[in-house]
């Protein structure tokens, strides 16, 4: 499984990269603070919303601490998606939050 740190994600965003971030936390968790521009697909709904994703695009998976996003990364990898897990999740995030 490919991994990236929260700091690396923050630097890429600050450098102007347009990243495809998917937050797999529950809706209430996301409402309490999330990375701007993120797409919220709760882990429990991922298999039902997989058709919304494009296998051509790379995705970075985010959750609170990195566990659920790791599960989501493995799940999507098994379907041929280009996905990377953001280790440490939002607990490690030091960038902008909305």
Helices (H), the chain: 6-14, 27-31, 46-49, 67-78
The torsion angles phi and psi of 57, rounded to 5 degrees, stand at -85, 145
- pLDDT at res. 36: 95
Examine residue 27 and state whether it is found in any structural domain, yes or no: yes
Examine residue 97 and state whether it is found in any structural domain, yes or no: no
Task: Compute the average pLDDT of residues 49-61.
Answer: 97
pTM given for the model:
0.96
Examine residue 87 and state whether it is found in any structural domain, yes or no: yes
Domain interval for residue 77: 2-91
Examine residue 98 and state whether it is found in any structural domain, yes or no: no
Could you give the angle at the alpha carbon of 4 between the alpha carbons of 94 and 62, nearest 5°?
65
- pLDDT at res. 23: 98
Examine residue 96 and state whether it is found in any structural domain, yes or no: no
Examine residue 68 and state whether it is found in any structural domain, yes or no: yes
Domain count, the chain: 1
Examine residue 18 and state whether it is found in any structural domain, yes or no: yes
Task: Compute the average pLDDT of residues 14-19.
Answer: 96
Q: From the CB of residue 81, how many other CB atoms can be counted at a distance below 10 Å?
A: 19
Examine residue 7 and state whether it is found in any structural domain, yes or no: yes
Looking at residue 56, which CATH number applies to its domain? 3.40.250.10
Cα separation, 42 vs 54, in Å, equals 17
Which pLDDT band holds residue 6 (cuts at 50, 70, 90)? very high
Per-residue pLDDT of 78-87, as tens digits, reads 999 999 999 9
């Amino acid at each position: 499984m490919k991994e990236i740190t929260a700091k690396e994600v923050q630097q890429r965003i600050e450098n102007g990269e347009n990243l495809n971030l998917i937050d797999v936390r529950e809706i209430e968790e996301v409402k309490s603070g999330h990375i701007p521009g993120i797409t919220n697909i709760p882990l429990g709904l991922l298999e039902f919303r997989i058709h919304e994703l494009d296998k051509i695009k790379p995705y970075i998976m985010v959750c609170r601490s990195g566990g659920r996003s790791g599960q989501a990364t493995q799940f999507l990898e098994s379907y041929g998606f280009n996905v990377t897990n953001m280790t440490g999740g939002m607990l490690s995030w030091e960038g902008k939050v909305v």
